[in-house]
Amino acid sequence: MGDSVSNQLFERASRILPGGVNSPVRAFRAVGGHPIFIQSAAGAELVGADGKAYVDYCASWGPMIVGHAHPKVVQVVQEAAARGSSYGAPTEAEVVLAEAIAAAVPSIEMLRMTSSGTEAVMGALRAARGFTGRDLVVKFEGCYHGGADYLLVKAGSGLATFGEPDSGGVPAAIASTTAVLPFNDPDAVRALVAERGEEIAAIILEPVVGNMGCVPPDAGFLELLREQCDACGALLVFDEVMTGFRVARGGAQARFGIRPDLTTMGKIVGGGMPVGVYGGRRDVMEKISPLGPVYQAGTLSGNPLATAAGIATLELLAEPGLYDRLEQAGAEVHGIFEEAAQAAGIPLTVQRVGSMLTPYFRDAAVRTFEDASACDMERFARFHGGMLEHGVYWPCSQYEAGFVSAAHDDAALERTRAAVNAVFPTL
Ligand code: HOZ
């Protein structure tokens, strides 16, 4: 697998970069073969190192919701770069972006920008611990919240993909500050809160999980978490790094009508540039330095190029009817998979929330990490390779969600249909 130019680049890369990549999820290890190196992207399309074009459903793992290299985003980034790429001092653009985020997500009364989703989550949980004076963080199996030591425990995304959900290099003492529960299991939450509620600083989750494929919350699960946090005095933290401005303009919290205490974001709010955000209740955010004692900092936080791209992207997303179009395009891809699977007699369950979705190679719903792990991974690998051959770039793990962008027009969807219809009979 992989084109010949990519294969040569991968050999070179493997001599200098661990596994040939700068983030393990790119390595294609779970699907076999070598990664496609990308030379450029525009709209819904990626172009590989040998010039082959692919309809892209990775979307840089989510952020490219208006399509790659959108002319407006490119223009504002170029203009911002010409004014200087980093000052280490505040800018008006940071205020504009912060106001736009808070206007779309009412639970965010105050926010802090970072350079990545990982930093945003670390900041949010430090704030939660500082505010509550408690240490224990509760997460869910298969949710991935970036690279902080105490969150690399039973994590999804690359850790699940490579079969090592608990990362090496994490001291046991640090891992023990995290309690892990099965996703969508209200009884497990109730039991832990009953037993250790007074120790819990925060319950954090992806309200729609995107890191064990796309797993929506069961009806009532988010409400239960809100109620249990209130009962024990813990903060409810929604990691909306993937779902923010994706499943609705106001994120999963708007779509499901639940108000978390803190929210983390990334990806889309940086328009494809490195950005993270954490924010929420004013009384909690006022604990952050320099207002309060909880320290968190970063030279590139609120970087001018990233804020320019973020503002432009949020403006583009304000176009009337855009989320309806994303929903329709998502539904169309969903239908393409289901029809092809049915015609080919292949057990498949497609799960989708708006424009994020996963075709799971199994014949039952995926509600938990255990369910996701029960998929036919070999068939997924054949699917992935076949799609590449037919010009569609799907994320390279069954544990990842695919993303549809506003640039996925009829032509892109027809190319997808043709690829799926050609590939499924061969699986
Ligand atoms: N959450 C992203 C994919 N599941 C992470 C991407 C990465 O690790 O590079």
Q: Is 117 in the pocket of ligand 1 (CB under 6 A)?
A: no
Q: Which residues make up the CATH 3.90.1150.10 domain(s) of the chain?
A: 4-69+322-426
Give pLDDT, residue 33. Answer: 85
Residue 174, token pair as written in the block: 């640090």
In sequence order, the 6+-apart residues with CB closer than 8 A to the CB of 263 are: 105, 107, 108, 124, 237, 238, 239, 240, 244, 251, 253, 277, 278, 279, 280
Q: Which residues make up the CATH 3.40.640.10 domain(s) of the chain?
A: 71-317
Rounded to whole angstroms, how far apart are CA atoms 215 and 279?
24
- For ligand 1, the distance from its centroid to the CA atom of residue 405, given in whole angstroms, is 18
Q: Is 376 in the pocket of ligand 1 (CB under 6 A)?
A: no
Give pLDDT, residue 157. Answer: 84
Active site residue 323: no
Q: Per-residue pLDDT tens for 279-301?
A: 999 999 999 999 999 999 999 99
Q: Per-residue pLDDT tens for 94-117?
A: 999 999 999 999 999 999 999 999
- For ligand 1, the distance from its centroid to the CA atom of residue 200, given in whole angstroms, is 27
Rounded to whole angstroms, how far apart are CA atoms 53 and 390?
10
Phi, psi for 184 (deg, rounded to 5) = 65, 30
Active site residue 267: yes
Local structure of residue 107 (DSSP, 8 states): T
The helix-helix angle for 186-196 and 221-232 (nearest 10°) equals 0
Regions of the chain with pLDDT less than 50: none
Residue with CA closest to ligand 1 atom 2: 61
Residue with CA closest to ligand 1 atom 9: 23
- For ligand 1, the distance from its centroid to the CA atom of residue 123, given in whole angstroms, is 18
Domain 4-69+322-426 indexed as CATH 3.90.1150.10 = yes
Q: Is 158 in the pocket of ligand 1 (CB under 6 A)?
A: yes
**What is the secondary structure of 316-337 as a DSSP string?**
HHTSTTHHHHHHHHHHHHHHHH
Give residue for tokens 């320019």.
Answer: 308
From 144, 150, 278, 360, active-site residue:
144
Give pLDDT, residue 2. Answer: 58
- For ligand 1, the distance from its centroid to the CA atom of residue 157, given in whole angstroms, is 6
Q: Is 25 in the pocket of ligand 1 (CB under 6 A)?
A: yes
Name which of 226, 248, 228 is nearest 238 in CA terms: 226
Strands across the sheet containing 276-280: 110-114, 276-280, 262-266, 235-239, 200-205, 136-140, 178-181
Name which of 119, 62, 92, 72 is nearest 278 in CA terms: 119
Rounded to whole angstroms, how far apart are CA atoms 137 and 22?
28
Q: Per-residue pLDDT tens for 18-51?
A: 999 999 999 999 999 899 999 999 999 999 999 9
Active site residue 144: yes
Q: Is 6 in the pocket of ligand 1 (CB under 6 A)?
A: no
From 54, 267, 371, 376, active-site residue:
267
Q: Is 397 in the pocket of ligand 1 (CB under 6 A)?
A: no
Give pLDDT, residue 24. Answer: 94
130, 139 Cβ separation under 8 angstroms: no
Q: Compute CA 189 distance to the chain's CA centroid, rounded to the nearest angstrom.
A: 24
Domain 71-317 indexed as CATH 3.40.640.10 = yes
Residue 237, token pair as written in the block: 């933290």
Q: Is 399 in the pocket of ligand 1 (CB under 6 A)?
A: no
Rounded to whole angstroms, how far apart are CA atoms 239 and 104?
16
Give pLDDT, residue 383. Answer: 98
